[in-house]
Amino acid sequence: MEQRKKIILIGGGFAGLHLAQQLNKSAFDVLLIDKQNHHQFQPLYYQVASARLEPSNISFPFRKIFQKSNNIQIRLAEVTKIVSAENKIETSIGDFNYDYLVIATGCKTNFFGNEQISKHALSMKTTEEAIEIRNNILLSFEKYISAKDHEKEALLNIVLVGAGPTGVELAGAFSEMKKHILPRDYPHIDFSKLKVILLEGSKNTLNSMSEESKKASRKYLEEMGVVIRTETFVTNYDGLTATLNTGETILTNNLIWAAGVTGNIIEGINPEHIIRNRYKVDRFNKINGTQNIYAIGDIAYMETPLYPNGHPQLANVAINQGKNLAANFLNILKGKTQKEYEYKDLGSMATIGKYRAVVDLPFIKFQGFFAWYIWMFLHLMLILSVRNKLSIFFNWAWSYIMKDSSLRLILKQNK
């Protein structure tokens, strides 16, 4: 009897999760290793950070997802090294051997080598980090009540660095919070002094989207009272003072860094096959120079005729690379031809507060209320469980009607 082939999958983000789901109850033994015990729905992190959704609404334990599986095992660990010559990986809980290795480790926040900013800024690449932003923002208002006059300005300045979808969505959410929620929670604080400041190094908000979306997003944010500074960089931040490339400074206790990402590279792959902190892969997602090691999702760099400089780091790319690689693994078992991957651009979107969003589809671009409705519907459909879909829909409906939520919990760990 032929021994079952073993696939080790590192990372359970969009790419890894969809690969595992496609290989569930297949003839492969799959070992999923992740530092977290759950899949995280990253597009809605900003709603956790702005106290609109509970973390449990967008976090899905792997053991729950695969509790009826007989071929997928889960390990909570950090992978420290790949030893390709021995077909094994080294982890924080021991070594594991594989027949095929799939790296789906995604990205982390890119501070561009600035250790001061890295040490003091808030980032949002995990559920825990989204909760930390929520904690810090809410704690600032609690501190403001008893703060000395010279401390108050920093507590009421929320600075967001990077005007991509994350920065824009956070800016809109905090602006709505300022208008509708905080004055009711803290009636003795003058929230007209609260500034939501969005800094962007390029010339536009949502710089990777269409001209219509760039203009509309900026217009919406400015109407909501967000202070936007484009072609502006943060060169340093010490936890209190943000220094800009113009020489100006901004006092803030809350600087949220959304200015870029970099790949989570694992030691052991020849640096020649790593480009811009992504593994260079062929059209089947196999890492160049390897026989049985693959990379999918944000960590994979694949050049194709349509995308000669690599695919965009989007959830849709990751999901479909995971599905395509799973299909190819099954084709290998059946002796069938493998299928090359190519991304079909389905468009992009971002929401800027309630009733306002921008949508770029290949055949049409639109903004406003209908775009917001489309954004809301599609994100709801992408959420994994029916229970969570209903829970999020109820939260959104309640917030829509009452302009409020009851999720403003400060959950700080005592150290």
Question: What does the pLDDT look like over 356-393, one tens digit per residue?
Answer: 999 999 999 999 999 999 999 999 999 988 889 898 88
Q: Which of the listed residues 208, 236, 259 is the one where a domain comes to its end? A: 259
Position 128 scores a pLDDT of 93
* 85 and 147 inside one domain: no
Q: Helix, strand, or coil here: 76?
A: strand
* 151 and 74 inside one domain: no
Say how far apart CA 314 and CA 297 lie, in whole Å. 8
* CA distances to 60, 97, 196, 361 from 346, in Å: 25, 38, 32, 6
User: Is 207 within a domain?
Assistant: yes
- Give per-residue pLDDT as tens, 315-339: 999 999 999 999 999 999 999 999 9
Position 402 scores a pLDDT of 66
User: Is 104 within a domain?
Assistant: yes
User: Position of tokens 């080790």?
Assistant: 8
Nearest in space to 177 (alpha carbons), one of 158, 200, 162, 149:
158
Residue 319's domain comprises 6-109+262-334
Total domain count for the chain? 2
What ranges make up the beta strands (E) of 142-283? 157-161, 195-200, 227-230, 234-237, 241-244, 249-251, 254-257, 261-263, 274-275, 278-281
Say how far apart CA 159 and CA 233 lie, in whole Å. 12
Mean pLDDT in residue range 16-42: 96
Position 320 scores a pLDDT of 96
Position 331 scores a pLDDT of 96
What percent of the chain stands above pLDDT 70?
A: 97
Banded pLDDT at 194 (limits 50, 70, 90) = very high
pLDDT at 195 over 80: yes
